[in-house]
Amino acid sequence: MLVTLGKDNSGMAVAKANIGSANISASTLSSGFKTIIQSKYQYISNKTVTVDGINATQLVIKDNSTGDHGSLTFLNKNNSIYIIMISTPDNNQQTIDMILNSFKFQ
């Protein structure tokens, strides 16, 4: 799923990967992403957030070429890993939190 949020380079995408019985945690996956993205993006911070009652790991990054900010939020639910990617030109954490708080998983 890919959504444009209506302001410049603002957007959102959600990816879901079925991991079955593999023992891959969202935290482990976020650490791997942190290493991969450092060629184009600047790592800003990471923290634990809650999305629909589920603990998730959130990375905040900045695009070195445009200055846009983004968050990648990783969480495990029902043998799947979800990655919620949100980009904003102004690192608006309030908007990011509002979007994440709207998610409901079944």
* pLDDT tens track for 53-104: 999 999 998 888 888 888 999 999 888 889 999 887 777 788 888 888 988 8
Query: What is the reported pLDDT for 38?
Result: 77
In a domain, 46, yes or no: yes
* pLDDT tens track for 5-61: 555 667 888 888 888 777 788 888 888 878 777 778 888 888 999 999 999 999 998
Query: What is the reported pLDDT for 7?
Result: 58
The pTM is what? 0.82
In a domain, 106, yes or no: no
In a domain, 18, yes or no: yes
In a domain, 36, yes or no: yes
Full residue range of the structural domain in which residue 51 is found = 2-101
Are 72 and 62 spatial neighbours (Cβ–Cβ below 8 Å)?
A: no
When divided into structural domains, the chain yields a total of: 1
In a domain, 15, yes or no: yes
Cβ burial 20-35 (10 Å sphere, 16+ → b, else e): eeeeeebeebbeebbe
Q: What is the CATH number of the domain that holds 66?
A: 3.40.1000.10
- Pairing mode of beta strands 54-63, 69-77: antiparallel
Are 72 and 59 spatial neighbours (Cβ–Cβ below 8 Å)?
A: yes
DSSP 40: T
In a domain, 35, yes or no: yes
Rounded-to-integer distance, Cα 42 and Cα 53, Å: 29
Rounded-to-integer distance, Cα 95 and Cα 78, Å: 27
